[in-house]
Structure 1
Amino acid sequence: MYYDALSEWDHDLSTLSTPGQIKATARMAFQQQAWLLGIHASSLIPHGGDWRQGYVLPYADEISGAANQTGLRRAFLAGLIRQESGFAFGIRSDVGAQGLMQVMPATAEWLQSHIPAAADADLHSIRGNLVLGSNYLSLQQQSFGGSELLAAAAYNAGPGAPKRWLGRWDGPTQGPWAGPIFTANIPYRQTRHYVQSVLTNTIIYAAILDRQAQTIWPQWQLKATTPG
């Protein structure tokens, strides 16, 4: 349903001739809580527009609660959700991933059986989906020494993939450029784009939430970052 709507939305947007029309259309989508459509329209506005418009944060209280419970940074969790679903709660992928954090039913069942905080989480509710997805993301971040970069890669491609890539990696593992260089060499194109998008989203949400300029280095590392 969402993908059909997005295709129709693309067609409608192609008929608009000015950035102002696109911006107004995106604003209309946000007013209707069609977050994914609004984000998509905002991405088509030429640089120089109001970039904040495309970085809405619905479900802010629920996201903050999930971040606090799992030790994730709010900006990281929000950035990943924006990439996964565009905050479209009812979205379902072709392979069956569901909700804001696109959690697979089998993953949800495993989390419900092994993580006490997720035992009663409902995959089909906003809060439950966030509990399940954030706990899974937190497990990935812990298993990769606190790295948000590697946690995002594992969330997208499965934990085995970044472990293999790290095992074969002969580039830098320390210093400010280690993470960006590693990311640029991720062999899965979809995961490479995904990680770049999630971490870019994270930087922007951190700037919005903290109300100060951000650098890429804390997010784009192969080692731990400090939650905040």
Structure 2
Amino acid sequence: MKRSKRAAVFLFFLMAVFFLINSPIVWKWMYPIKYQKEILEASSRYQVDPYLILAVIRSESGFETDRVSRKGAIGLMQVMPDTAEWIAEQAGLGPADERYLYDPVTNINMGTWYLSFLEKRYEGDVVKVIAAYNAGPGKVSSWLMREQWDGKRETIEDIPFGETRQYVQRVLYYHDRYRSIYTDQLQ
């Protein structure tokens, strides 16, 4: 009798864990939205999917405004200072001084403008956009032109740079997660 009671308690425990893990509250805790207002404003201004912006921020900085990469990329969306200067010039955003990249509003606007620029360049193909956000549009265009990668989600493993390959997989994973957890809440 004790065995069946322990088995029942264990089964109950497993069911409770299963339901807890699949709870919207737990998912929202695991995948929070920070800077929602700023993301939605930039999304609207530059016509970029807010779930993509969230996925890039989560992948790039984990929502830490003071994050600086080994290569010198700064802030929430890890914008390189040289890229920020170019964006400021192209988009009329300013100032381009790198200390402003720590500001969430400036960083989100610059990163989102750049995503919009890449979406236009790659005709809305989100996989190519994500790859170009990481490796640069010159590299991605070169891979496509040389047929090293065909730009499709199904062939991400063909991306020549391991860092970019992993980055694209991670951003797409977060993009899918945020979209499923917050369906229609960010439109």
Q: TM-score, normalised by structure 1?
A: 0.65
How far residue 124 of structure 1 moved from its aligned partner, in angstroms, is: 2.5
Counterpart of 2:139? Answer: 161
Structure 2: gaps spanning 5 or more residues: 1-19
**What is the CA-CA distance between 1:170 and the residue it aligns to?**
7.7
SS at match of 1:112: helix
Q: Does 1:107 align with 2:83?
A: yes
Partners of 2:135 and 2:115 in 1: CA distance: 12
Do 2:63 and 2:76's aligned partners in 1 also have CA atoms closer than 8 Å? yes
Unaligned runs of 5+ in 1: 1-47, 213-227
Give the drift of 1:94: 1.7
Aligned Cα RMSD in Å? Answer: 2.3
Identity within the alignment, %: 36
Structure with more relative contact order (C-alpha pairs < 8 Å, separation 6 or more):
2
What residue in structure 1 maps to residue 63 of structure 2?
A: 87
Instruction: Provide closer, same or farther for how the CA distance between residues 211 and 152 of structure 1 changes in structure 2, counting only shifts above 3 A.
Output: same
What is the number of equivalent residue pairs in this alignment? 161
Residue number in structure 1 paired with 2:182: 209
- Structure 1 stretches of 4+ with a deviation exceeding 4 A read none
Residue 133 of structure 1 corresponds to which residue in structure 2? 111
Q: Distance in 2 between matches of 1:165 and 1:95?
A: 22
Query: Highest Rg: 1 or 2?
Result: 2
Report the Cα offset of residue 204 of structure 1.
1.2
- How far 1:141 moved relative to its partner? 1.3
Give the equivalent residue in structure 2 for 1:56. Answer: 32
Aligned-pair CA distance for 1:119: 3.0
From the superposition, tell whether residues 170 and 108 of structure 1 become closer, same or farther in structure 2 (CA, over 3 Å): closer
Residue 68 of structure 1 pairs with residue 44 of structure 2: yes
Structure 2 distance, partners of 1:155, 1:203, is: 18
Rounded to whole Å, the distance in 1 between the matches of 2:184 and 2:44 is 19
Within 5 A, what are the aligned runs for 1:1-228? 49=21, 50-116=26-92, 118-120=93-95, 122-169=100-147, 179-210=152-183
> Which residue type is aligned with residue 155 of structure 1?
Y
TM-score normalised by length of structure 2:
0.78
